Amino acid sequence: MANNSSNVETEQTTTCLHLTFYHPQNHRQNIFGAIPLRTPQEIKAEATVAFGRDVNTCKYVFLCNRASRIQFVIQFFKPLHHGGPAFEIKNVSKKAKLYVDHLELNYLNKVDLPAKCIIQFGDFQMLLEKEEGESEDVFEISCDVSRTPLVQETQERLMVSIPENGILNGSAPPTILKCSIAEETDENQL
């Protein structure tokens, strides 16, 4: 922004999504080779950001035939009753389920993204961390690659997905999620 003695504008901070990617075959296949790393990419707030293997449609391309043409999309939005920027993720793959912190998303299911979460599909793992900003016009996405898994698979657990209102629909069976969870330890127990 302009900054001189006659006209001083305040600069707004930009919300940034930090994404760290992992895939067990990345060291052999360079699956994330088409993604700009460690350089934040500015994106207009009204844009829908697609991730997948289609170089013509996706802003972030996975060089892997196991990924869908368009795997998922992320979109910026401003919630009605509080002013902070937020993001939602939608699974647009018909062949692969998407997991956000072990919540299963089928084709065209979407969910608001928490400030920090793990996103998974197939062998792909992504750590998403949101850095709050003020701008309503643009946001940034900054990407990196991890050489080690982001989630350690230790055991399988059945989880029931509960609607936001906390009430299960009596006429519809609950959605059972079978997924691997990361083993966590409380810092106070160490």
Share of the chain residues as helix, strand and coil, in percent rounded to the nearest 5: 5, 40, 55
What length is written for the chain? 190
Number of neighbouring beta carbons within 10 Å of residue 145: 18
pLDDT of residue 10 exceeding 70: no
Please name every residue paired with 112 in a beta bridge, in sequence order, or none if there are none.
Answer: 88
Digit-coded pLDDT (tens) for 15-73: 999 999 999 999 999 999 999 999 999 999 999 999 999 999 999 999 999 999 999 99
pLDDT-derived band at 6 (thresholds 50, 70, 90) equals: very low
Number of neighbouring beta carbons within 10 Å of residue 5: 5
Pick the CATH number of 15-147 from 2.60.200.20, 1.10.3720.10, 3.40.640.10, 2.40.10.10: 2.60.200.20
Inter-residue contact 139 to 45 (CB < 8 Å): yes
Alpha carbons 105 and 165: distance in angstroms, whole number? 18
pLDDT-derived band at 139 (thresholds 50, 70, 90) equals: very high
pLDDT of residue 179 exceeding 50: no
Number of neighbouring beta carbons within 10 Å of residue 130: 19
Taking CA atoms, 144 is separated from 139, 147, 180, in Å, by: 17, 10, 24
Alpha carbons 130 and 14: distance in angstroms, whole number? 11
pLDDT at residue 9, as a whole number: 56
pLDDT at residue 84, as a whole number: 79
CA end-to-end distance (rounded Å), the chain: 48
pLDDT at residue 12, as a whole number: 83
Q: Where do the structural domains in the chain lie, given as residue ranges?
A: 15-147
Full-model pTM: 0.74
| Residue percentage of the chain with pLDDT more than 70 | 74
Taking CA atoms, 18 is separated from 41, 126, 151, in Å, by: 11, 10, 17
Report the sign of the C-alpha dihedral through residues 127, 153, 97, 31, in that order: positive
